[in-house]
Chain A
Amino acid sequence: MKTGLRLFLVDDNPADVGLTREALATSPRHSAIESVADGTEAMAFLECKGKYASAERPDVVILDLSLPKKSGLSVLAAMKDAPKLRGIPVVIFSTSQLNDDVLRSYEMGASCYVSKPGNLADFFAAVKSIEEFWCDRVRLPRQGE
């Protein structure tokens, strides 16, 4: 059985977090999923601050764009500014189909941009393909080296 990814989900919509967990629940990869609901919490988690002092570094961040407190793009910018976080791939996972959002995400260093599909089957397929791609197809930096 494959070892999964350590996924970090930043999404203020519990329904989407629920769907994402559902999509991966039957996956053979056993990804660990942790999630927070706003941009400030996301940065605290990534920087292991406060209650997240013992948080483990994720392999991939799945980031929504419209977030309370600190927007998705601000989180992305802050990550790319921080030497310790810059190497973590960020998948933007958003409902927005605006070309502006897509372009800015890539300009700011997002690894890829995936639109949240409206249909359940497509949503599941999207989440599964993100996991499969980052788990099976891609070489990620080893931690602590």
Chain B
Amino acid sequence: MSSAGVKLALVTPAPKAQLRVLLLEDNQLDAELVLRALRKGGWDVTARVVQDEAAFTLALRTYSPEIVLADFNLPSWTGMAALDVLRSETPDIPMILVSGALGDVTAVECIKRGVTDYVLKDGLARLPEAVRRALEENHQHALRRQAEENLARKVEELARSNADLEQFAYVASHDLQEPLRMVAAYTQLLSERYVGKLDENADKFLGYASEGALRMQVLIQDLLAFSRVGRSGTPGAKVDCNAVMQDVLKTLGPAVEESGAIVTCSELPVVWGERTQIAQVLQNLIGNAIKFRGTEPPRISVQAEKEESHWLFRVADNGIGIPAESVDNIFVVFQRLHGRTEYAGNGIGLAICKKIVERYGGRIWVESQVGGGSTFKFTLPLQPPDQPEEGKP
């Protein structure tokens, strides 16, 4: 049903079909021969024959031909000038040159400029087939153009709905902070004032209420941080990852020391991005490697190597590893594999890493085995981003 609808909307050439021809030809005999060749080839032709620009333009507007056939040389005009007029009037009607012998160079030039085909006047037997092919090609073009337009519209819709969602997440988390601050502050005030003055249950309830409010504050802060990834600046500056690593190790210093971690790092490249965001990716990955350590002190190696179109970074550890069924889930916002009492955190770190890496046109994934450590890999393009857009290139 729907494909029939599409076909109806477009020009479909069929044998024995009617054909409206606009013929630019000053020689009446030649015009007659052209039309006869078409009829002989199975076309039910109606035609308007014109000789100059004014008549040609008028016919384009009033006669609505399906195809234009044009002589190359006319007394007062040329076929190529006619092509320019045709294209300025409509992009959809194909044009075939029907002419005496042209040099190869001229013929190629004509095709380059948009003539669909070129038929010699002493080879008119080929004309019906040339017309059929031109219409078919035109039909395919129209289909492709329509498909491309549909695709472009869908992409635009998606981008818009994505932007709307981000805006929503940002506004929602931002506006939720204010009332939540009241809840948190006053439950805390209640606890401070009245703990021990009511009964045991009341103390417990107040404790739950303030704990919940505080946890929600952290969640909302995280959500805000997540939705800010796509909002801050343009990722177009050069960032020296070696310097970034120095900062990251300084920030993680206490955790490194406390866990006895050994972090080794190869020479890292200069990449395109925003320094704080690149730092955040490395810090989250290294921080996780320390947090999810096994019984041994963590050994973490950070490396990068150049591949065809991108840098490939690896952050490898000897930690507890990740079950195979979870390797994709871990990049989803607020996804946690462990209980809150086992490992602290809200499950926002890797989601932020993914968002940052993809913002720069890269990819992030993990290779891991339970008990066998994890290797997080991510790519960053060698080239600066053309457009600071979300998503993969």
What is A's interface to B at a CB cutoff of 8 Å? 13, 15-16, 19, 22, 95, 116, 118-121, 123
Residues of chain B within 8 A of A116, CB atoms compared: 181
Among B181, B185, B188, B192, find the residue whose CB has the most chain A CB atoms closer than 10 A.
B185
Residues of chain B within 8 A of A19, CB atoms compared: 185, 189
A120 touches B182 (CB 8 A): no
A95 to B214, CA, bound (A): 16
Residues of chain B within 8 A of A120, CB atoms compared: 184-185, 188-189, 192
Please tell me which one of the listed residues A13, A16, A95, A118 contacts residue B184 in the complex, with CB atoms under 8 A apart: A118
B177 on interface, CB distance cutoff 8 Å:
yes
Smallest Cβ distance from A112 to chain B, in angstroms? 21
Among A95, A119, A120, A121, find the residue whose CB has the most chain B CB atoms closer than 10 A.
A120
Please tell me which one of the listed residues B186, B188, B192 contacts residue A15 in the complex, with CB atoms under 8 A apart: B186
B280 on interface, CB distance cutoff 8 Å:
no
Residues of chain B within 8 A of A123, CB atoms compared: 185
Residue of B nearest to A16 (CB): B182
Residues of chain A within 8 A of B258, CB atoms compared: none
A13 to B214, CA, bound (A): 20
B186 touches A118 (CB 8 A): no
A123 to B185, CA, bound (A): 8
Residues of chain A within 8 A of B178, CB atoms compared: 13, 95
Smallest Cβ distance from B201 to chain A, in angstroms? 22
B181 touches A95 (CB 8 A): yes
Residues of chain A within 8 A of B181, CB atoms compared: 95, 116, 118
A13 to B185, CA, bound (A): 13
A121 to B214, CA, bound (A): 12
**Which residues B156-193 have CB closer than 8 A to chain A?**
177-178, 180-182, 184-186, 188-189, 192
A54 to B214, CA, bound (A): 43
Residues of chain A within 8 A of B189, CB atoms compared: 19, 22, 120
Residues of chain B within 8 A of A13, CB atoms compared: 178, 182
Q: Is the interface of A mostly helix, strand, loop or mixed?
A: helix
A22 to B193, CA, bound (A): 11
Please tell me which one of the listed residues B182, B188, B192 contacts residue A119 in the complex, with CB atoms under 8 A apart: B188
A121 to B191, CA, bound (A): 12
Residues of chain A within 8 A of B192, CB atoms compared: 120
B217 on interface, CB distance cutoff 8 Å:
yes
A15 touches B185 (CB 8 A): yes
Smallest Cβ distance from B153 to chain A, in angstroms? 35
Residues of chain B within 8 A of A119, CB atoms compared: 184-185, 188, 214, 217
Interface size class of B (residues with CB under 8 A): 10 to 19
Residues of chain A within 8 A of B214, CB atoms compared: 119
Residue of B nearest to A18 (CB): B186
Q: A95-B177, A120-B189, A120-B192 are in contact. Are A15 and B182 (CB under 8 A)?
A: yes
Smallest Cβ distance from B283 to chain A, in angstroms? 21
Smallest Cβ distance from A136 to chain B, in angstroms? 26
B217 touches A118 (CB 8 A): yes
In the complex, 11 of the A-B residue pairs with CB atoms within 8 angstroms, ordered by the A residue number, are A13-B178, A15-B185, A16-B182, A95-B177, A95-B181, A119-B214, A120-B184, A120-B188, A120-B192, A121-B188, A123-B185
Q: A13-B182, A15-B182 are in contact. Are A118 and B188 (CB under 8 A)?
A: no
A86 to B178, CA, bound (A): 30
A116 to B184, CA, bound (A): 13
Q: Mark B185-216, 1 if CB is under 8 A from A, else 0.
A: 11011001000000000000000000000100
Smallest Cβ distance from B79 to chain A, in angstroms? 62
Among A13, A15, A116, find the residue whose CB has the most chain B CB atoms closer than 10 A.
A15
Residue of B nearest to A119 (CB): B184
A19 to B190, CA, bound (A): 12
Smallest Cβ distance from A108 to chain B, in angstroms? 23
Shortest beta-carbon contacts, A-B, top 3: A120-B188, A15-B182, A120-B185
A145 to B186, CA, bound (A): 43
Among B181, B184, B186, find the residue whose CB has the most chain A CB atoms closer than 10 A.
B181
Residues of chain A within 8 A of B184, CB atoms compared: 118-120
Residues of chain B within 8 A of A16, CB atoms compared: 182
Residue of A nearest to B214 (CB): A119
A29 to B332, CA, bound (A): 51
A88 to B185, CA, bound (A): 30
Smallest Cβ distance from B7 to chain A, in angstroms? 55
5 further interface pairs, Cβ-Cβ under 8 Å (given A118-B177, A120-B189): A13-B182, A119-B184, A119-B214, A120-B185, A123-B185
Residues of chain B within 8 A of A118, CB atoms compared: 177, 180-181, 184-185, 217
Smallest Cβ distance from A91 to chain B, in angstroms? 18
**Which residues B97-121 have CB closer than 8 A to chain A?**
none
Residue of B nearest to A116 (CB): B181
Residue of A nearest to B224 (CB): A97
Among A95, A116, A118, find the residue whose CB has the most chain B CB atoms closer than 10 A.
A118
Smallest Cβ distance from B146 to chain A, in angstroms? 45
